[in-house]
Chains A and B, each alone.
Chain A
Amino acid sequence: MFQPTGQKRLTNVSVIRYKRGRKRFEIACYPSTVLSYRAGHLKDLSEVLQVDEVFENVSKGKVAASGDLRECFGTTDRAKIIRQILERGELQVSERERQYGLRNSLQEIANIIAAKTVSRATQRPIPVGLVYKALQEAHFSVQPTRSVKAQALEAIRLLQQHSELDLERARMRLRVHVPAQHDAKRLQERLVQIETDAAKKAKRGEVGSAAQVAAGASVRGGSDTSASLQMVQVESEEWLTGGALLWTLQIDPGWFRTLEQIVAEETHGSGTVEVISLRVLHEGDHLNDVL
């Protein structure tokens, strides 16, 4: 009789489905354990599996036929088949797992942002706790399918626009060495040219770039425009004997590839770009004055 008392409900079960050779197989697991198993944190199968059996349909209690198993997996060894299904089957991620994953991702994003940015006013790092809070206040939502780093780069721009946290991308310090004098001159001219172009573009495209961000523009395009006003800051310029140029620069990290390319082109491969530090920070010991 299909009445409440007559039903046998599946409690504490999460089903993993796996399709192979037009056949569907299922296994019954405990909820919130499969992802831990896949990550390798849970090794005891009895902690994962409700029933040591391969089913055709768990809710109906229909066990898969041995013939089907042999046909599809080439073996009837249940243990092997179950391992395979556990590794590759589809499952509904439980709420707790999802929550945990999202929180972890957000934390990671906050960490990446904190590592890549500095406070604009003080040129000092921003603590992760504040970034995390800023992300929450800016209503940043984590997308579980996209890479954390790409999301972090987007979130930086989001925070720059919508947060009280006055942050900017930390610049990297490079040393450019150009052995020949005329190469060096040409390189400098070209960089100045690019800079002015970018400045013009930025002036025109200020509205456009904001729209780009809103639409989730590509990482490169966005960072090029947003940081264009001061892409290259020259720290020191030293002309060595024989006309070689030793140049210490600070640049926006998103621009590194382009710069390296330009240097290689202009100097026909003889110039070198050396990374001195990935993150330029204001240095100083006692900081009461910063407060």
Chain B
Amino acid sequence: MATNAPDDADRPVDRPRPPGINTNRQAERRRAAPLSTTSSGSLESQRLQRVQQILTQRPERIRNICIVGHIDHGKTTLADWLLAANGFLSHRLVGKARYMDFREDEQQRGITMKSAGVTLWHQHRSSEGVDGVGDCAITLIDSPGHVDFAVEVSAAARLSDGALVVVDVVEGVCSQTRAVLRRALQESLRPVLVLNKLDRLALELHMTPDEAYAQLRCVLEDANAILGAYEAEMEIRRAEENALDASLSALGDALQLQENGVGPVSTTAEETCSKVQFFQPESGNVLFASAYDGWGFRVRDFARIGAARLGVAPQQLRDALWGDYCWHARRKHIVPLGEAVADKPRARPLFVQLVLENIWHVYRNFMEASAAAADGTLAVRDQIAARVGVAVPERDLHHRDARHALQSLMSRWLPLNRAVLDTVVEHVPSPLQALSARLEMLWPHTRKASPSALQQRAAMRHGDTTPESPLMMLVGKMFHIEASLVPPALRRQLEARAAVENHDADEDGADRPPGSLLALARVFCGSLNSTGNLWVYGPRYRADVGATHQAPYCYEMAGAALNVLLLNGRDFVPLTDSPTKSTARTAIAAGAVVAIAGLDACVLKTATVSSLAPGVCLPFAPLSDIGGARPVVRVALEPAARLSELPRLRRGLRLLSQADPAVETFVSESGELILGVSGELHLERCLTDLRETFARVEIKASSPMIAFRETVAGGVSITPQNPWVTSQRQLPKMRHGEESAAAAAAAAATHDDEEDANIASESDGMTDAEIVSREPAAAYPDAELLRGLRAGGAVMVPLPNEGIELAIRALPLPLALANGIEAAPLWVLRALFRGRGDRARSTTEWSPATKMLFAELCEAVRRDVFEVGERDAATEDAPSSDRDTASRTSILGSLLAQRTIDMGPHGVGPVWLLGPLCLQEHSAGEGDDEVMRLRDMLRAIFCGERPGATADIGVDMPPLPPAVRRSLISAFQLVAAAGPLCDEPLLGVALVVSTRQLPPSESTASGLSITLLAEALRKAFLAANPRLAEPVLRVEIHCSAEALGQVHSVLSATRARVLHERLKEHHITSMFVIHAYLPVHESFGFVDRVRRASSGAVADVQMRFDGRWQLLPQDPFWAPTTESEVEELGVEDGINAANNVARKLVEQVRVRKGQRVAHRLVERAEKQRTLARKK
């Protein structure tokens, strides 16, 4: 058996210490800290020196990797071993210290939340078949496994060239394994599979080596299935794109257009990495390991050991060790398993025989025999150690704790760090090699042919660090470090700079959070020149858009302001050891991943740092383009204690959003400070960060306010609780002259919300009661007509001064139209509708772009109204061509312009005030069917009539006098901004005003009041079956087939409307995508619920608001009244709104606004106790 001498050179001296079985983890960590800085001082400095040398001069010796995998599969423990090999911590603490989890809460919870980087030094020696590379600097980024922190993984993958995919062999390939592996493939990383926790197979599951072998094969197949699926997807996509390309190249002009755009990012990346390399133990990209016990090996390592024993060539054994081969003892030959079976019934695969049996033997003897007589065990231990040929100190080997003895043996026999780091050096390409595959994905300008693009491309491809080449640097993420970790010299420098910067700012130094923000960046080419200037380009910078060449999009700064730091575990060391040389150029080898201080003022999350000026520099692709989850949990923050803490909270939020790639912060429409995060766990961490580090104030987090909209369903209300219905009932009574007090009371009950009229606030003395009583007072010549109009929900406003009477009705606009308008950008709507200020302007003057947008809007409306809805079956087969669309556009546009008096709220929007203008004049001359159909459609929209109906409301009526018109507009704007249900804006309502001549009467002249008109508009609204509309989010859920049922049950419990559910495109495994509309009101905690219900099988939830509103079918005034309803649902009572969602929501809003709600202070009046007051 060949020996594998322990590498004593790069291992610190272990101090004898009793094994820490129950030791406090924190204490251990603290004790570990000085070890890294003091006790191994000379080694440390030597290592640092070499790493610095490599990072500045030897790009071919750099490797950048990240550790990814499912949560609790052992990523951080693996990292611990690698760090221990570099002397960052004692071997004794490996697996307990979790060195890469810097944060306190990471330590407490035992999970990683932030990715953290460290640069290791590794001596790669040559062995059979492989030439030694020499010493290498390996930058290792440990990433979190929890799904909430997926963005951290993306940021880590961005900066790496290879990925160590860690899989727990007991749990197998899990949801997050799948996600991160795909992520790594998308980023064109070279994956290395680490099958971890082999010890659990032996110790926990008590598997035999044969069973363990079967399990390992299963896991390996699963992992390869992901790769295969990904490759197949790429194949399909490539085929499609080739077809598309062929068709595109036929259209020469079209291609020209694409050339100017950003270019197809994903396609180019996928084309270059044509073949995915599968995980094959014999090719060396699979590691078998137990990170806890500190051992790991590749097939090759055992082949070396076994070859000596069996007497075959190591090369031969390496190819046959994994797979269906066995050792034919008689023939002294390796034969396929099938042949051997015929020969000998109990043939076992070589891997079991040579590898697993040996390891199991060690485990059996150390762990299971430990209970037996001590002396015998110790002898066995000695014997085993002698057989594997490893010198283990006796105090370790004979240790009382069998596990400790085992670890000390195994980690010397099959050292994990050596196996892992060797694999990394051999399998992960050096940065420059890797760039040939990754550059097109990272930098989507490879197809551009401009001289500057070519120059940049060449410099990056060759890793040019000469003074002539431009500097290109990619900032992958910002991270926060404690003040104590910043090198003292640097800290002084930073503080001085901060003091200068904040000299005029209002903040005092004590207010600044301690520590500093560093950027994790990768250098592509060029060198940091401290004399020249640099530009920092944010993700929204575009080289071809001149408007983005200034402050919010890019910043200019002096090169001297940047400090390059080496990632050295928990502390950061300046990369160049002579920071005093002010004019020095800092040449960093291309591909080095370093920390950079001094960028915190201008980098938010990711950025491109370049020495090229704006317009010339082509930036790297922003992370969001490539993928990365959007925040799905939103909360509103405010200071819990005092208002004066608000500025600190704002600043803290900005810092947080800088330090965390997954956080989104903004000010909402209602002015709230909104924090968007990717899950409940993430939220908790962000709040802790804000409280303790960034803002340092107590924070109150609540669910953000939800905006509702009020709309109408059409028809006439009959619900008794509706105030309009109540007032209608009261009308005849008042004619009979019942006492006015009752009417006043009723009126007070009717309109319980005060006018919000800024305009009319002072002048208007009229009370609601007067309005109500005035209405019937006007003498009607035609009582029949009046009753008819009333029955149709029209509200009559007699204006004797002007000699006319208004009849106001509220009609629903198609929700599709309302949604379309709500979703359209404001400026488009302005361009479309505000132009009607002067009537002369017609649709012909619209710019082509505006016309296109309007055409789209019209098309959407037409589709939704006529094809999806069942209003008119006849138009279903209407062919749509460009000509049709254009003519439709112009007609609808001009009709709108003629008929609409105003739109609301705030000038443009989904609420229209339609006046009595002539419809007929337009249709003359255009007599074809299309025009007629459009007219019918408009009538359906505007008049609520069925197409073809003869009655034309709003045609041939006396026009509105200008004074009335103005007041009407003001009143309309008031009502549109705050409806009668709960003062929320209206949506999708057309308020149609018709006029008729009033016979001259001698009734007293009364002034025209905005309040009066607003009240009438509100009543008309109430009469037309008011409804509440709530915003809905478009939710996209990716889940595996087995979780579908649970996901659907959550969806139906949250009143979501499922649009469709289908197998994922280009996806070979059974992943489903569900699209649904989810009420915003139900979206808080939704992600958590879905994940919990599906036990984590939901891979990805994405929510976004696309300006869509959904009508709540319930009448907010409805309450159980009939006997059976009362019996079933509870008493008729204002409070008992539990069975009416709309009502519940309305009341919530009203309570929030302090408006009157049906609220009983006392639940059971007769049960009140007089609280004891001693008399």
- Give the interface of A toward B (CB within 8 A): 4, 11-12, 30-33, 35-36, 39-43, 47-48, 50, 87-88, 96-97, 100, 104-112, 114-116, 119, 122, 124-130, 133-134, 137, 147-149, 163-165, 172, 175, 219-220, 240, 246, 253, 256-257, 272-279, 283, 286-291
Contact = CB atoms under 8 A, between A and B. Distances in A.
B643 A164 contact: yes
A31 B1168 contact: yes
Contacts of B669: 125
Contact of B1135 (A41, A109, A175, A276): A41
A33 B1162 contact: yes
Nearest to A254: B758
B671 A125 contact: yes
For the complex of A and B, list the 7 residue pairs with the smallest distance between their C-beta atoms, beginning with the closest.
A107-B1154, A108-B1154, A30-B1165, A125-B671, A11-B1170, A287-B666, A253-B758
B745 A87 contact: yes
Given A41-B1160, A288-B666, 20 more contacts: A12-B1166, A33-B1160, A33-B1161, A36-B1162, A42-B1160, A108-B1153, A111-B1153, A119-B671, A126-B671, A128-B670, A128-B705, A129-B638, A133-B643, A149-B754, A240-B838, A273-B966, A274-B969, A277-B906, A289-B552, A291-B657
Interface string B901-921: 000001100000000000000
Given A36-B1160, A288-B666, A291-B650, A41 B1134 contact: yes
Given A40-B749, A163-B643, A149 B670 contact: no
Given A109-B1154, A125-B670, A288-B666, A130 B643 contact: yes
B1168 A110 contact: no
B474 interface: no
B966 A274 contact: yes
Nearest to B1171: A11
Nearest to A219: B762
B23 interface: no
A41 B1165 contact: no
Residue among A4, A41, A105, A137 facing the most chain B CB atoms (10 A cut-off): A41
B907 A276 contact: yes
A277 B907 contact: yes
A128 B1152 contact: yes
A165 B671 CA distance: 13
B901 to A, nearest CB: 11
B604 interface: yes
A113 to B, nearest CB: 11
B642 interface: yes
B1067 interface: no
B552 A278 contact: no
10 contacts: A11-B1169, A12-B1168, A33-B1165, A36-B1162, A48-B1165, A50-B1166, A104-B1156, A111-B1152, A175-B837, A275-B970
Residue among B642, B653, B657, B1165 facing the most chain A CB atoms (10 A cut-off): B1165
B421 to A, nearest CB: 40
Contacts of B636: 127, 129
Contact of A134 (B643, B966, B1134): B643
A20 B15 CA distance: 100
Nearest to B752: A39
B255 interface: no
B1175 to A, nearest CB: 8
A105 B745 contact: no
B758 A39 contact: no
B1169 A127 contact: no
B46 interface: no
Interface size class on chain B is: 35 or more
A32 B1168 contact: yes
A288 B758 contact: no
Interface in B476-521: none
A286 B668 CA distance: 9
B666 A291 contact: yes
B580 interface: no
A100 B667 CA distance: 31
B880 interface: no
Contacts of A116: 758
B973 A275 contact: yes
A291 B670 contact: no
B977 interface: yes
A243 B1161 CA distance: 64
Contacts of A279: 906
A148 B970 CA distance: 23
Contacts of A287: 666-667
Interface string B739-750: 001000100010
B771 to A, nearest CB: 18
Interface string B992-1009: 000000000000000000
A104 B1155 CA distance: 7
Contact of A111 (B741, B1154, B1160): B1154
B1112 interface: no
A288 B1161 contact: no
Contacts of B382: none
Contacts of A278: 758, 906, 973-974, 977
Interface string B720-753: 0000000000000000000001000100010000
Residue among A31, A133, A253 facing the most chain B CB atoms (10 A cut-off): A133
Interface in B1118-1159: 1133-1135, 1152-1156, 1158-1159
Contact of B1165 (A47, A112, A133): A47
Given A116-B758, A288-B665, A100 B1159 contact: yes
B361 to A, nearest CB: 60
A100 B796 CA distance: 38
B778 interface: no
B254 interface: no
Contacts of B643: 130, 133-134, 137, 163-165
Contact of B642 (A40, A97, A137, A240): A137
B672 interface: yes
A179 to B, nearest CB: 12
B665 A30 contact: no
Given A100-B1161, A164-B643, A12 B1170 contact: yes
Interface in B600-658: 604, 636, 638, 642-644, 646, 650-651, 653-654, 657
B886 to A, nearest CB: 30
Contact of A39 (B638, B653, B966, B1156): B1156
B705 to A, nearest CB: 8
A164 B1170 contact: no
Contact of B1154 (A105, A126, A134): A105
A250 to B, nearest CB: 14
A30 B977 CA distance: 41
Contacts of B308: none
Contacts of A48: 1165
A270 to B, nearest CB: 10
B582 interface: no
Given A108-B1155, A110-B1154, A115-B756, A283 B907 contact: no
A134 B428 CA distance: 59
A148 B754 contact: yes
B791 interface: no
A32 B1162 contact: yes
Given A48-B1165, A164-B644, A291-B653, A127 B672 contact: yes
A157 to B, nearest CB: 16
B13 interface: no
A47 to B, nearest CB: 5
A248 to B, nearest CB: 10
B981 to A, nearest CB: 15
A273 B759 CA distance: 12
